[in-house]
A and B are shown apart, each in its own frame.
Chain A
Amino acid sequence: MKQILTVVLVLGLSLPLFAEGEKSASKEIPDVETIVGKANIVAYYQGKDGKAKVKMTITDKRNQKRRREFNILRKDDEDGGDQKYFVYFLKPPDVRRMVYMVHKHADPDKDDDRWLYLPALDLDKRIAAGDKRTSFVGSDFLYEDVSGRSLKEDTHELIKTTDELFVVKNVPKKPDTVEFSYYNVSINRKTYVPMKMEFYDKDDKLYRVIESKKVEMIQEFPTVVMSVVSDLKTGSKTEMEFSEVKYDINLKDVFQERYLRRPPREAIR
């Protein structure tokens, strides 16, 4: 293993020397902003809209499992820009038919608009913009993992390039607003799918990992259909499984009060 690594390293290091003066090498490695920009589109903006069924399994350190199931509808205003999300809960039974709706703003200075609809009370509730690094529905995923962290919030540095991956180090511009000191994202060079995110705490210790366990091509869009987040501190992990993924479904503007009270068929099924 060590030998292979040495070979790769030597090869990797020596290649730029051979390639010096040749344009093809610089073409292969785009600058870091291009990389994170593309990865952001692939992870959160595939197609102009889409839907998916999500099954979440939260396993705590005592191996107790809790399950969530919901359908997500998404529509983009523009790639990399504002987005709207409509989340319709199917399980567990006490939250069934609840709707969580977000108008996400790409501008980090503008808070997202969020609503929660409680069917038993016919109540559409506006929720205060929260800390985005709060658990999403009690899982190990955070709000920001689900809807994406604005690229403008971090500085990006390409720290490693392998045959398959770009590894980008992301350092928050406002470190006091987050619990990590930095995180590394390993991005597939061909598809630009983020394969792994590793979060380091203020003591430079790895404490949280998100991995893309399964990627499929759906309507020509590389799509993560299984991802797992592990919290190394609490010993808890959450598995998120996507099924019935569809893109470009020509979704109407269902992201409004009318559809909270009576969700569109796309969300119910």
Chain B
Amino acid sequence: MNRLCSGAKVFAVFSVLIISLPVLADQSDENDGDSFFSDLPIEMHGFYEMRSGYRLRKDNYEKDMSIMENRLQLDLSSYPEWGDLKVKADIYGDLVTEKGYFDLREANIFLRPNDFLDLKVGRQVLTWGTGDLVFINDLFPKDWQSFFIGRDNEYLKAPSDALKASLFGDWANLDIVYTPRFDHDRHIDGTRLSYWNLNLGRLAGQDAVIHTDKPNRWFRDSELAARLYKNINNYEFAIYAYRGYWKNPIGQNASMTQAIFPDLNVYGASVRGAIGKGIGNIEVGYYESADDMSGKNALIDNSQMRYLVGYTQEIARDFTAGVQYYLEHMQDFSQYKNSLMSGPARDEYRHLVTLRLTKLLMNQNLRCSLFTYFSPSDKDVHMRPNVNYKLNDNTTLEIGGNIFFGDYSNTFFGQLQNNTNIYAGMRYSF
């Protein structure tokens, strides 16, 4: 909430600035047509959306309603000669939590001071890496809650308050993202989605909302992410490094009263390019759990190796299929087993396969898609069917679902079984 409030202040300042600029421009026009403000026209866009959804199973810890909201997004941008300004904010009323929210999604300035440097400062959405809804080297914040309750895919990415510097050279390009204060994922915490609670050894939800102790000191609890990349004959190579924290509260403090975000360093690489008729990608990453290098600490996840291979191809006209195989290998597994205090043990290897099928119909105005995660080791499944119809240039209708199966209640998707939901939405864009 704190974050949203400070966001509100920033937004207020920005909107006052931006709204007042045209006024200033009008005044200054009388005196000097070429003034700083006269070339600041502002574009305004956005949408209004209604979305509602229900659980298909009885959940003892959550409401039957999985999503019920009215949302207005405003997107203001301006392109003066010296840079780009952008503010994007959502205001929504949420009947599940019975609260109103202000979510500042973007408020940033983009500058291109010269041919080899781009700068973007402020609140921004950031993405890199090659996976499709599987992330290894993209350690920018995600909003898993939105993802699983059926908000638009846009909301999977939560914004960062960061400085992004991009350097462009003849032999490679370098992106550096500095986040002065840790931006964690909007993770599952029990308020809206039931989950496996390790301490209680059972499913839990609103009865056991996760309280976290997050690193939140400015400049001291910062994150640094870098990507060095190069395109060789349209094969895109990249290496990555990250220094910060686990994005989800996967650790606990010693008294086991609060969840914590332990230190994390990640080193990885990826390549993406055409293979045959389709696009292939490979990505790897080493997750160094810096607070538990030996793997002996039962309260903090061990280090991991993560691997991903993917391939996408159009298999018929307007019909695309994409498959991915992902492997997570826990390091120091014997130490983990020895130190395990209670509950079922995790596997040393977590295998995950994804399949995406997308078909466009009716002059591409109807999109039917199904994204499926299946883990043969965890024996769980998450399916994301979605049908999206463009009624006209402004109005879109959508129905979809988030379906979870699992043999066990403690696995990644298996724990979410009772959150299985369907939703419908209508969006008017302008």
A157, B34: Cα distance in complex, Å: 59
Contacts of A121 in B (CB 8 A): 125, 127, 153-154, 156-157
Give B348-385 interface residues, CB cut-off 8 Å to A: 363-365
Would A91 and B393 be within 8 Å (CB), given that A130-B314, A256-B231, A265-B79 are in contact? yes
Per the bound structure, the CA–CA distance linking A70 and B394 in Å amounts to 16
Say which residue of B45, B229, B274 sits within 8 Å of A129 (CB atoms). Answer: B274
Contact B363 A128 (CB under 8 A): no
Q: Which chain A residue lies CB-closest to B88? A: A120
Complex Cα distance A139/B363, Å?
7
Would A111 and B363 be within 8 Å (CB), given that A128-B312, A130-B314 are in contact?
A: no
Q: How far is the CA of A121 from the CA of B429 in the complex (A)?
A: 17
Is A94 interfacial (CB 8 A cutoff)?
A: yes
Which A residues are CB-close (under 8 A) to B124? Answer: 122
A182 to B219, CA, bound (A): 67
Digit string of A170-185 for contact with B (CB within 8 Å is 1, else 0)? 0000000000000000
Which residue of chain B lies nearest to A118 when distances are taken between CB atoms in the complex?
B154
With A111-B274, A113-B234, A130-B314 as known contacts, state yes or no: A122 contacts B430, CB within 8 Å. Answer: no
Nearest CB of chain B from residue A269's CB, rounded to whole Å: 8
Known: A128-B313, A257-B231, A268-B79. A135 touches B363 (CB 8 A): yes
B84 at the interface (CB under 8 A from A): yes
Q: Tell me if A122 and B125 are in contact (CB < 8 A).
A: yes
Q: A58-B363, A128-B312, A258-B173 are in contact. Are A123 and B127 (CB under 8 A)?
A: yes
CB proximity to B under 8 Å, residues A61-120:
64, 66-67, 91-94, 96, 103, 111, 113, 120
A134 to B153, CA, bound (A): 25
Q: How far in angstroms is the closest Cβ of chain A from B218?
A: 24
Q: Which residue on B lies nearest to A138, using beta carbons? A: B364
Contact present for A111 and B277 (CB under 8 Å)? yes
User: Beta-carbon contacts of A126-146 to B below 8 Å, as 1s and 0s?
Assistant: 111111011101110000000
A262 within 8 A of B: yes
**CB-nearest residue of chain B to A124:** B127
Residue B397 CB within 8 A of the other chain: no
| Residue B278 CB within 8 A of the other chain | yes
CB distance from B87 to the nearest CB of A (A): 14
A103 to B236 Cα, complex, angstroms: 14
Question: Binary interface profile of B, 124-159, with partner A (CB < 8 Å = 1, else 0)?
Answer: 111100000000000000000000000001101100
A127 to B322, CA, bound (A): 11
Residues from chain B with Cβ under 8 Å of A139 in the complex: 363
- The interface residues of chain A lying within 8 Å CB-to-CB of B236 are 126, 257
Give how many B residues have a beta carbon under 8 Å from the other chain's beta carbons: 46
The residues of B that contact A134 with a CB separation of less than 8 Å are 317-318
Is B28 at the interface (CB under 8 A from chain A)?
A: no
CB distance from B247 to the nearest CB of A (A): 17
Taking CB atoms, residues of chain B closer than 8 Å to A130 are 314, 320
Kindly state whether residue A212 has any CB partner on chain B within 8 Å.
Answer: no
**A188 is an interface residue with CB less than 8 A from chain B:** no
Which residues from 254 to 287 on chain B have a C-beta closer than 8 Å to any C-beta of chain A? 272-274, 277-279, 281
Expressed in whole angstroms, the minimum distance between the Cβ of A119 and any Cβ of chain B is 8
Q: Any chain A CB within 8 A of the CB of B112?
A: yes
Pairwise interchain contact B320-A128, C-beta atoms closer than 8 A: yes
CB-CB under 8 A for A262 and B364, given A113-B274, A122-B127, A128-B320: no
Binary interface profile of B, 208-237, with partner A (CB < 8 Å = 1, else 0)?
000000000000000000000101001010
How many angstroms from the CA of A164 to the CA of B154 in the assembled complex?
53
- Looking at the complex, which one of B45, B84, B118, B318 makes contact with A93 (CB distance below 8 Å)? B45
Closest to A130 in B: B314
A236 contacts the other chain (CB 8 A): yes
Interface string of B315-333 (1 = CB under 8 A from A): 0011010000000000000
Contacts of B312 in A (CB 8 A): 126, 128
B317→A131 contact, CB < 8 A: yes
> A60 in the interface, Cβ–Cβ < 8 Å?
yes
B110 touches A138 (CB 8 A): no
- Could you tell me the distance in whole angstroms from the C-beta of B81 to the nearest C-beta in chain A? 9
Within 8 A of A (CB), among B286-335: 312-314, 317-318, 320
CB of B194 closer than 8 Å to a CB of A: no
State how many angstroms separate the Cβ of B9 from the closest Cβ of chain A.
24
Residues of chain A from 151 to 210 with CB closer than 8 A to chain B in the complex:
none
Interface check B168, CB cutoff 8 A: yes
List 3 tightest A-B contacts by C-beta distance, closest first. A138-B364, A93-B429, A92-B393
A-B contact pairs, 25 of them (CB 8 A): A66-B393, A92-B394, A92-B429, A93-B393, A113-B234, A120-B157, A121-B153, A121-B154, A122-B124, A124-B127, A128-B278, A128-B312, A128-B314, A129-B274, A130-B314, A130-B320, A131-B317, A133-B317, A134-B318, A139-B363, A256-B231, A257-B173, A258-B118, A261-B118, A262-B112
Q: Given A60-B363, A122-B124, A256-B231, 15 other A-B contacts at CB below 8 A?
A: A92-B429, A94-B47, A120-B125, A121-B127, A122-B126, A122-B127, A126-B312, A128-B278, A131-B317, A135-B363, A138-B365, A236-B363, A257-B173, A258-B166, A262-B110
